[in-house]
């Protein structure tokens, strides 16, 4: 017996929403990692110039 179309549409929307949420979370993690590496690079340069 096939499921009613409404339920299938609901499941489809939930899957799409979950996919978008995961993509947004992954993008946020990448952004934070990039900012952190930039900060460490900048801090390393400042310490390097302070010692000379």
* DSSP class per residue in 9-33: HHHHHHHHHHHHHHHHHHHHHHHHH
- Does residue 17 lie within any of the structural domains? no
- Does residue 52 lie within any of the structural domains? yes
What is the number of domains present in the chain?
1
Summarize pLDDT for 13-49 with one digit per residue, the tens.
999 999 999 999 999 999 999 999 999 888 888 776 6
The string over 2-21, giving b where at least 16 C-beta atoms fall within 10 Å of a residue's C-beta and e elsewhere, is eeeeeeeeeeeeeeeeeeee
Q: Does the pTM of the predicted model rise above 0.75?
A: no
The domain of 32 spans 27-52
- Does residue 14 lie within any of the structural domains? no
- Does residue 18 lie within any of the structural domains? no
Residue 24's pLDDT is what? 99
């Amino acid at each position: 017996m096939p499921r009613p179309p409404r339920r299938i549409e609901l499941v489809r929307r939930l899957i799409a929403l979950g996919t978008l949420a995961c993509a947004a979370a992954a993008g946020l993690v990448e952004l934070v990692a990039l900012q952190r590496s930039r900060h460490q690079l900048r801090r390393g340069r400042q310490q390097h110039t302070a010692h000379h």
